[in-house]
Structure 1
Amino acid sequence: MNFEMIPGQERAKRLLQNGLRMDKLSHAYIFAGPSGSGRKETARAFVAALFCSRNADNACGECLECRKLAHGNHPDLYWIEPDGASIKIDQIRELQQQFAYRSSTSGTKVYVLNEADRMTTQAANSLLKFLEEPQSPIIGILLTQNGQALLPTIQSRAQWVQFFPLPPERIRQKLLAEGLAPELVHVAAQLAAGVEAARELIQINWFAETRNVMIQLMKDLAGKQPFVVSVQQKVMKSEVADHLDTLFDMIMLWFKDLIHVSCGRKSSIVYIDQSDWLVKAAFTRDADGWIGCMEQAVEARKRLRSNANAQLVLEQFLIGVK
C-alpha cells in the first residue's frame, strides 16, 4: 500500500508526505473522518512509507521492510482493534509492554488504534500517560469517525489529520470503470464516503435486496396497493429489517430524484433504471411536497436511532407520506 493507491484525500496525503520528507513527524496523529473515507488505507500507506528503506515519502513495495508489512508480520507495527464493543485497558497495557523493547530494524515503532473513540475510560487514561511520556521513537495513529469523542487531553497531544467523503461522481466513475452494476453503483456512490466503502456495499447481498424492496415499497405507496402489508411481508420478514437505516437513506435519495425531475434536472437522478416511472410520478406533487416527504424520512431515521419500534416507525412514516 502506498499513497498513490488512495483516491482523494490530497490534503491529508500532502501533510503526511511533507512530514516524512522533512523528517518532522508528530509522536501521535488522529485520523478523523467518516467510515470508508480512506483513514485505514492512509494509515497503512503512512506506516509503509515510514518503514520503507528506499524512499523517504512513499513506500517502494519491494524492500524487505515493505515486504514484511505486506505479509502482516512487521515486528515494529502494533495494530489494535476493539475487543468486542470497546478497546480495553488490557490491550493498552499490552501495547505498552510491547513498546518497552527496542525496535528491530527501522528505528521507529508504530501503533495504530482503529476506532479509537471506542476506548474505555480506563484505556483512554492509560493511553494518555503513554502520550504524555512518549518513549521516542514511537508514533501513534488513532483512527476514528468522531475525534471529538476522544479525551480532550488526548486530542490536544496529537496532530489532527482530517478526512472527507469523496465526491460521488469520482466514486461513480471509478466503480463503473470496474464494470460493476450501474444501478447499484449510483446508489452506493451517494451513501458511501469512499471507493472501498461503496464497493463493499455493492458486493453485499442485502444492499441490492434493500434497494429492490425500497423501490417496490415506494411504488406501492404511490398506487393502491396495501403498503402496510408490504412492510410486514417485504421488509420486516426479510434481511432488510436489519438495515432500516440504509432503507431510509435510499428513500431520501428517491425523493431527491423526484425533486430533480420536477425541477427539470432529470440527468441528476440516482435511480437511473427507474427514470420512466420517476418522470410520471414527479408531477403528482410540487417540489415543496417532495421536500416535505424527505423531511419526514429524516425524522423517521432519527426515531430509529433513538431505538423506537422499527416497524411502527416505518408504518407511521409511510402513512404520513401517503
Structure 2
Amino acid sequence: MSFQSIAGQERVKRILQNSLRTDKISHAYIFTGPSGTGRRAMAKAFAQAIYCKVLPDDACGECLDCRKVLHGNHPDLHEVKPEGASIKIEQIRELQKQFAYRASASGIKMYIIEEAEKMTVQAANSLLKFLEEPASQVVAILITDNGQALLPTIRSRSQWIPFVPIGRSEMQKALLQEGHPAVLVQAAVHMAAGTEAARGLIQGNGFAELRNLVIQLVRESLTRLPAALLTAQQKLTRGEFSEQLPKFMDMLILWLKDMVQLSLGNKDGLIYSDQADWMSKQALSYPIEHWIYCLEQAVETQKRLRFHANPQLALENIFMKLKGV
C-alpha cells in the first residue's frame, strides 16, 4: 500500500513523506479525525515506507519488508486494539516487553494503537512513560476520532496529524471507478466522512436492502399508511433491520432532502436519482413547507432515538407526518 493508493489527505501525505525524505521522523504521531478518512491505511502506508528497502519516501509494495507489513507479520511492527471496551494496561506492558528486544535490520520499532482514546487511565500513564523513555528507536502512531480525549502530556509529546473529511465528489469518483453501484455510492458518500468509511457502508451487511426499505416505507406512508406502520414494526423495530435504525434514519433524511429539492424544481444531484419520476409527482402533491417540516421532524426523531426513545412510536410519528396526518 503506497501513499498514492490512498484517496485524499494530500497534506498528511506531504508531511509524512517530507519526514521520510529529510530523515526527521517523529517518535510519536496522533492521527486524529473522523472514522473512515483513511487514518489506518495511512498508518500502514507510513510503516511500509519506513521499512521499504527500495523507495526513499514511499512503499514499493514489492520488497520483502513491504509485503510483511501488508500481511501483518513484520517483526518490528506491532498493532494494539481495544480488548472489549478499552485498551488495558496489560496490553501496553506487553508492548513494552516486545520492545525490550532489539529491532531487526531496520533498526526501528513501530507500534500503531487504534482507538487510542479508549486507553484506561493506567494504560495511558504506562504509555506516557514509554513515550518518554523508549528503549530504542521507536515510532508510535495513535489513531483516534478525538485527539483531545488523550492525556495532555501524551498530546504534547506527539506530532498532531489531522485528517479531514474527504470531498463527496472525490469519494464518489473513487468508488465508481471501483465498480460500486451508483445508487449506493450516492447515499454512502453523504453518510461517511471518507472513502474507506463509504466503501465499508456499501459492502456492509444489508446496505442496498436498507435503501430499498426506505423507498418502500415512504411509498407506503404516502399511499397506504397502515401498511407502512406494519412494515416498520416487522422489519425495523423488531426484525432484521432493528440494529440498523440509525442508518435507516440517515437514509430517510437524505430522501427528505431530495423531496425539498424536487419541490424547488431542482433535479440535479439527487441522492435517490433512480426514483426521481414518482418522487417528483409526490413532491408537488404537497407544499414545500410540508417537506421542510418532515425533514425537521426526521432530524428531531433521529436525536430522540439516540436518547433511547421508543423506536416504534418514533417511527409511527414520522410516517404519519409524511402522510400529513
Give the alignment's TM-score, normalised by structure 2: 0.93
Deviation digits for residues 47-70 of structure 1 (CA, Å, limit 9, x no counterpart): 111111222210112223213223
Q: Which runs of 4+ in 1 moved over 6 A?
A: none
The 10-residue stretch of structure 1 (41-50 or 53-62) with the greater mean CA deviation from structure 2: 53-62
Match of 1:50 in 2: 50
Deviation digits for residues 101-126 of structure 1 (CA, Å, limit 9, x no counterpart): 21111111110001111112221121
Match of 1:112 in 2: 112
Structure 1 residue 288, shift from structure 2 partner? 4.2
Match of 2:60 in 1: 60
Identical-residue share of aligned pairs (%): 54
Note the residue ranges of structure 1 that are not aligned, 5 or more in a row. Answer: none
- The whole-number CA distance in structure 2 between the counterparts of 1:54 and 1:78 is 22
Match of 1:250 in 2: 251
- The whole-number CA distance in structure 1 between the counterparts of 2:110 and 2:91 is 15
Structure 1 residue 43, shift from structure 2 partner? 0.3
- The whole-number CA distance in structure 2 between the counterparts of 1:133 and 1:218 is 60
Structure 1 residue 78, shift from structure 2 partner? 0.6
Alignment-mate amino acid for residue 121 of structure 1: V
Match of 2:298 in 1: 297
Q: 1:22 to 1:287 in 2, by over 3 A?
A: farther
Match of 2:225 in 1: 225
The answer on whether the counterparts of 2:233 and 2:239 sit within 8 Å (CA) in structure 1 is no
Deviation digits for residues 286-314 of structure 1 (CA, Å, limit 9, x no counterpart): 44442332222222222222233322332
Match of 1:177 in 2: 177
The answer on whether the counterparts of 1:29 and 1:160 sit within 8 Å (CA) in structure 2 is yes
Match of 2:98 in 1: 98
Alignment-mate amino acid for residue 263 of structure 1: L
Match of 2:131 in 1: 131
Alignment-mate amino acid for residue 31 of structure 2: F
Structure 1 residue 42, shift from structure 2 partner? 0.4
Secondary structure, counterpart of 1:239 in structure 2? coil
CA RMSD across the alignment: 1.8
Deviation digits for residues 131-190 of structure 1 (CA, Å, limit 9, x no counterpart): 232334111101111222222222222111111222222222222233322221211121
The answer on whether the counterparts of 2:20 and 2:50 sit within 8 Å (CA) in structure 1 is yes
Q: 1:219 to 1:95 in 2, by over 3 A?
A: same
The 10-residue stretch of structure 1 (228-237 or 210-219) with the greater mean CA deviation from structure 2: 228-237
Q: How does 1:1-322 map to 2 (within 5 A)?
A: 1-226=1-226, 227-321=228-322, 322=324
Secondary structure, counterpart of 2:225 in structure 1? coil
- The whole-number CA distance in structure 2 between the counterparts of 1:107 and 1:257 is 56
Structure 1 residue 234, shift from structure 2 partner? 3.1
Deviation digits for residues 23-50 of structure 1 (CA, Å, limit 9, x no counterpart): 1122111111212110010000001111
Q: 1:239 to 1:104 in 2, by over 3 A?
A: same
The answer on whether the counterparts of 2:102 and 2:136 sit within 8 Å (CA) in structure 1 is no
Secondary structure, counterpart of 2:8 in structure 1? coil
Secondary structure, counterpart of 1:266 in structure 2? coil
- The whole-number CA distance in structure 1 between the counterparts of 2:149 and 2:321 is 35
The answer on whether the counterparts of 1:209 and 1:240 sit within 8 Å (CA) in structure 2 is no
Structure 1 residue 258, shift from structure 2 partner? 1.1
How many aligned positions are there? 322
The answer on whether the counterparts of 1:260 and 1:268 sit within 8 Å (CA) in structure 2 is no
The answer on whether the counterparts of 1:78 and 1:112 sit within 8 Å (CA) in structure 2 is yes
- The whole-number CA distance in structure 1 between the counterparts of 2:101 and 2:287 is 68
Give the alignment's TM-score, normalised by structure 1: 0.94
Deviation digits for residues 193-242 of structure 1 (CA, Å, limit 9, x no counterpart): 22232223222342112111111111222224213222212322332111
